[in-house]
Structure 1
Amino acid sequence: MECLTYLLKVTACTVLFFGFYLLVLRKLTFFKINRFYLLATLLLSFIIPSLQLEVKREIKTMETEAPAKIPEIKPATPAPTQLIQPIMLEYQPEVRPQIDWMVVMYFIYVGTASLLLLACLWQLLGLLKHTGRYTKNSDGLKLISKSEGFTNCSFFNYVFINHEDLSTAGLLVLLKHEQVHANQYHSIDKIILMVFKAILWFNPIVYLYDKALEQVHEYEADEITSASFGNQAYASLLLQLAVTKTNNTLIHNFVKSPIKDRIKMLFYAKSNNMKKLIYLLALPVIVGLFWLFAVQVVYANKMVGLKHGGLLVQEGKILSTGTSSIKNVSGETISSGKNHQSALVTYKSAQVKSNQEVLTDTVKPKPVKPKIISYRKLRGDVRTKTYYIENAVIDIVNCRLEAGYVEFDKANNKILARNATLKTLDGKSTIKSTLFTFDLNKGSYSVENGESKIGVNINGAGHGRDFLIKLNDNIDYIAKDSVRISRDKSIVSLFGNAMLFYNEVKLSGSKIVYNRKDNRVLVNDATMISGDTKINADSLVFDIKTKKAKLYGADSNR
């Protein structure tokens, strides 16, 4: 999925860059600069989406009240009781295989790109087999006589000539033209475009890039050649050889590009040097694409703005009080000689005494509906609405449960799975245990070995766009809209009704950024819940390592 997203971003860059060339630069006669623009922007289209840059912004802090005591999470009752045994018939279901369309798309893309690269290599070998016998002239060109196939064309300093089509004067003009191609290394551009066309074979813009670059090559060679022989004589030779063409995309054919456009450009007025400033208009396009695809805004806060009765509070204890200077994290003095009240709130991890913990939420979750993918045997009890499944594969939101034995209590909406494995559908996170207990009404689960994720709102991930991913042993999150992970996987950004769970603490907001390197979580439009304590803030920074939170523009209620 990340590869597909990257290629779509590359395509968007090529569309904007080529659109700018088509509307602004195409009719300028600065052919070398146009050639550089086309190659550079095509390369930038691949570079910009691969970058991950951060821009830090400061958020103003506000003083507000915060509770002096943060309660610890209380453990709930242990795992549920054993369900009753089945009394109904058994039957063998039909197992239907599922198609992973993302994998199919991946193989189609790679297969097509590989075939195009092989075709390019085949054309190159077809050219090289004709380069064994040649005559070298004083300008360094290697002349090869050829009467069939591709003629009157060049590849690097190899020039393929059909003497039957050319007079002595025409041969001199053609050799001068092809010498310009060889001296400017235009064939390297052709090879680069062949590779780009193979990678972006689905993008029609890259084929327009190829056509535009070939046209610029011919304009540049025509300009230099016609300066030596005259526009009229040169235009006449173009018309004389206009019927000779070839389909080999690696060579420069003397008459392959549109003859009408080339002759018009010969007599077109040269652009004024002041018009070179027009190329500066490409800078806003480049900056805009950098900002859109490569820049991530990170909000940095400077000062803690919590207060509780004039006392500095940490873990429910008074740390300091009195009159002194207030400084922000950069060491700058905010105020001096005035009574100040601030707090740094720290959340202590509760001592877990059972396999099940419950996190209080202000919104009652909707029941989760599991999807049975396959099984070997299924039995049911109509009276109690309980089903017993062997070798079951069940999807719960975007997680997959694989268990040797499952008891599904449909009346109470609970699942008990033995000898089971729970993993995310992308296969990045896996939990194995002898016993899983799922409470689908609460959207939570617990395991016998003490590894617990109770309080994770699995129902919130029930929609197709949602995400429920395990970050590590203590952290889970859900995002309504999307999730972005940096290339080095050190920064995770959640967008749209985002929630992050760390042990007994629940953080929610419009955007959450989790930095694995410094173990900090930034939340915008933040809500923090622990037990029966709820704190709202404009933003907060939660330090996972020290279990301390800095809140800005905060208020609290119980």
Structure 2
Amino acid sequence: MNAILIYLLEASICVAITVLFYRIVLSELTFFTLNRVILIGMLMLSFIIPMLSFKLGITSMGTGEITLPEFLVGKEVAQEAVSFTWQELVFYTYLSGVVVMTAHLILGFFTSQRLLGKSRLMRYQDYWIAVHPKFIPASFFSYILLPDFNPDRSEQRQIVLHESVHVRLKHSWDLLLIQFAKIIFWFNPLIYQFERSLREVHEYQADQGVTSTYSKREYSGLLLQMITGGQGWHFMNNFNQFQTKKRIIMMSKPQSQKREMRRFLLAIPVLAALFFVFSCEITPEEDIEGPTMMGESKATTIGPNMDISARKLARDGEEIFDVVEDQPEPPGGMEGWNKYLSQNLTYPAQARSMGVEGTVIVVFVVNSDGTLSDVEILRGIGAGADEEAVRVVENAADWTPGSQRGRTINTRMRLPIRFKLAGSTQKEEPIASAPNDVDEVVVVAYSKK
């Protein structure tokens, strides 16, 4: 659920940036075909970019400490499962809007189909003309809709020519795409501005098609005569549904100079920025190669708290080792360690109520006498989770210390603890079974994401 909400937020931001880019940089240009391509292309990329994921590695700045298998905290107890988190409330509100918008779209489509079924169809210059008294001049996929039709009248020939451009350029398919986008992003006010911009480009293209045959003065007069408040349905390109004054000004405007096409190149850095922000992820410190307790390749880096790995002396004044011949071992081995964490590690109430999730990385030292010390947070998520992770490590029993060349030594260890709420859609690692008498915490074997 959280992943869906994050995707919607990121894609919505991409749509908003696309609209602002078009309105500020391109909307006054007369390269209508390119404007249409940019709008449709950037809309589709707004859907795709947040779905992509490319990880950028970070060069380790020091020797990595031994990393224990990741531990997952998180199954909600049954009595708490009945309550809704704020993410669930937002998600179900969003779904309600999707249902309303979908119903509105389906109603419009079937209403148009019903009227088409009742209309009188005729063939004119390779186009289908649908005549019905309730129609306003418009196009609908391959149909030109008119309240009446007399090909001997000049104004009707101009209207048919205008609408034939919409049909020939398949503008209704653009509008179908934008209707789906409105269903998904109904909460974003800029998606309606996006639709307005796209419809304007459609009208400019159609007007340009008419003025290549008829005089601009004659056609401008027709636009003024045909002003109507009717909007038609979603897939229709109405003959006079947008600002008449703006269309007349655009018709009278000189063609944009070819050198102004360089503005379209500005779309490249805009898309590159969106791609970098929403598709590229900096590899977290646990994904950089280093040793693990289980002997597998494991991520490690110094991370934000550089003092942890930089400190080389333990409390006894001896050196702290990051890589050892014989690794430290908790009481009862890893099975005993997992059992201890399962019985003692809990999800903080504050983090649960705030919907906070994420991975806390705890670094600690297993001293040469087996005691645990220097427990610190390498990476935290707040809301009480950091303190809970520190508490459970500090209260742990003594370990069997690590050894190097036959003598016991101080060893730095690292423990990732992932806090995850029930119902979250975050991608999980393979889960190993927890002890049967514990349903609050399960153990996750770490693998590279």
TM-score range relative to shorter protein: 0.5 to 0.7
Residue type at the aligned position of 2:362: M
Aligned to 1:141: 127
Residue type at the aligned position of 1:212: S
Q: Which has the higher contact order (CA 8 A, sep 6+)?
A: 2
CA contact (8 A) 1:466 1:482 kept: no
User: Kindly tell me: are residues 146 and 57 of structure 1, through their superposed partners in 2, closer, same or farther at Cα, counting changes over 3 Å?
Assistant: same
Aligned to 1:453: 341
Aligned to 2:155: 170
Give the whole-Å Cα distance in 2 for the aligned partners of 1:32 and 1:243: 27
1:208 to 193, 198, 218: 193
CA contact (8 A) 1:61 1:303 kept: no
Aligned to 1:124: 109
Give the whole-Å Cα distance in 2 for the aligned partners of 1:229 and 1:500: 78
Give the whole-Å Cα distance in 1 for the aligned partners of 2:363 and 2:170: 55
Give the whole-Å Cα distance in 2 for the aligned partners of 1:456 and 1:172: 81
Match status 1:277 vs 2:154: no
Give the whole-Å Cα distance in 2 for the aligned partners of 1:500 and 1:465: 24
* TM superposition shift of 1:453: 1.0
Aligned to 1:49: 50
Residue type at the aligned position of 2:122: T
1:535 to 404, 407, 412: 412
Bigger helix fraction? 2
Aligned to 1:352: 332
* TM superposition shift of 1:348: 4.9
Aligned to 2:146: 161
Residue type at the aligned position of 1:59: S
1:464 to 347, 351, 354: 351
1:295 to 280, 305, 309: 280
User: Deviation string for 1:483-502 (max 9, x for gaps)?
Assistant: 2xxxxxxxxxx4xx63389x
* TM superposition shift of 1:248: 2.2
* TM superposition shift of 1:356: 6.9
Provide structure 2 residue ranges, at least 5 long, that are not aligned to the other structure: 67-79, 296-320, 382-392, 402-409, 415-449
- Aligned positions of 1:24-63 closer than 5 A: 24-61=25-62
Aligned to 1:8: 9
Aligned to 2:379: 510
User: Kindly tell me: are residues 220 and 284 of structure 1, through their superposed partners in 2, closer, same or farther at Cα, counting changes over 3 Å?
Assistant: same
CA contact (8 A) 1:145 1:163 kept: yes
Task: State the number of aligned residues.
Answer: 337
User: Deviation string for 1:182-224 (max 9, x for gaps)?
Assistant: 0100000111111111111111011111111000000011112
Bigger strand fraction? 1
CA contact (8 A) 1:54 1:295 kept: yes
* TM superposition shift of 1:35: 1.1
Give the whole-Å Cα distance in 2 for the aligned partners of 1:452 and 1:467: 26
- Aligned positions of 1:391-430 closer than 5 A: none
User: Kindly tell me: are residues 281 and 353 of structure 1, through their superposed partners in 2, closer, same or farther at Cα, counting changes over 3 Å?
Assistant: closer
Give the whole-Å Cα distance in 2 for the aligned partners of 1:295 and 1:105: 26
Give the whole-Å Cα distance in 2 for the aligned partners of 1:466 and 1:289: 32
Give the whole-Å Cα distance in 1 for the aligned partners of 2:23 and 2:333: 69
Residue type at the aligned position of 1:2: A
CA contact (8 A) 1:61 1:301 kept: no
Give the whole-Å Cα distance in 1 for the aligned partners of 2:4 and 2:251: 44
Residue type at the aligned position of 1:5: I
User: Kindly tell me: are residues 41 and 507 of structure 1, through their superposed partners in 2, closer, same or farther at Cα, counting changes over 3 Å?
Assistant: farther
Aligned to 2:98: 113
Give the whole-Å Cα distance in 2 for the aligned partners of 1:215 and 1:301: 50
Residue type at the aligned position of 1:118: A
Residue type at the aligned position of 1:451: K
CA contact (8 A) 1:153 1:251 kept: yes
CA contact (8 A) 2:138 2:236 kept: yes
User: Deviation string for 1:392-418 (max 9, x for gaps)?
Assistant: xxxxxxxxxxxxxxxxxxxxxxxxxxx
User: Kindly tell me: are residues 247 and 171 of structure 1, through their superposed partners in 2, closer, same or farther at Cα, counting changes over 3 Å?
Assistant: closer
* TM superposition shift of 1:534: 5.4
* TM superposition shift of 1:181: 0.3
User: Kindly tell me: are residues 353 and 37 of structure 1, through their superposed partners in 2, closer, same or farther at Cα, counting changes over 3 Å?
Assistant: closer
Give the whole-Å Cα distance in 2 for the aligned partners of 1:173 and 1:463: 67
User: Kindly tell me: are residues 294 and 467 of structure 1, through their superposed partners in 2, closer, same or farther at Cα, counting changes over 3 Å?
Assistant: farther
1:499 to 352, 362, 372: 362
* TM superposition shift of 1:462: 5.2
The alignment partner of 1:58 has SS state of coil
Give the whole-Å Cα distance in 2 for the aligned partners of 1:32 and 1:500: 58
* TM superposition shift of 1:466: 9.7
CA contact (8 A) 1:52 1:296 kept: yes
User: Kindly tell me: are residues 291 and 116 of structure 1, through their superposed partners in 2, closer, same or farther at Cα, counting changes over 3 Å?
Assistant: same
User: Kindly tell me: are residues 177 and 355 of structure 1, through their superposed partners in 2, closer, same or farther at Cα, counting changes over 3 Å?
Assistant: closer
Match status 1:257 vs 2:242: yes
Give the whole-Å Cα distance in 2 for the aligned partners of 1:130 and 1:355: 71
The alignment partner of 2:339 has SS state of coil
2:231 to 246, 254, 269: 246
Give the whole-Å Cα distance in 2 for the aligned partners of 1:349 and 1:5: 40
Give the whole-Å Cα distance in 1 for the aligned partners of 2:104 and 2:13: 26
CA contact (8 A) 1:356 1:454 kept: no
* TM superposition shift of 1:51: 1.3
The alignment partner of 1:229 has SS state of coil
TM-score after normalising by structure 2: 0.65
Provide structure 1 residue ranges, at least 5 long, that are not aligned to the other structure: 71-94, 305-314, 316-341, 358-449, 469-480, 484-493, 513-526, 538-558
TM-score after normalising by structure 1: 0.53
CA contact (8 A) 1:467 1:482 kept: no
Give the whole-Å Cα distance in 1 for the aligned partners of 2:89 and 2:412: 47
* TM superposition shift of 1:108: 2.4
Give the whole-Å Cα distance in 1 for the aligned partners of 2:362 and 2:42: 39
The CA RMSD over aligned residues, in Å, is 4.0
CA contact (8 A) 1:60 1:301 kept: no
User: Deviation string for 1:240-294 (max 9, x for gaps)?
Assistant: 1113623423211101011011000000121111211211112222111222121
CA contact (8 A) 2:162 2:210 kept: yes
* TM superposition shift of 1:102: 3.4
The alignment partner of 2:240 has SS state of coil
Give the whole-Å Cα distance in 2 for the aligned partners of 1:29 and 1:110: 39
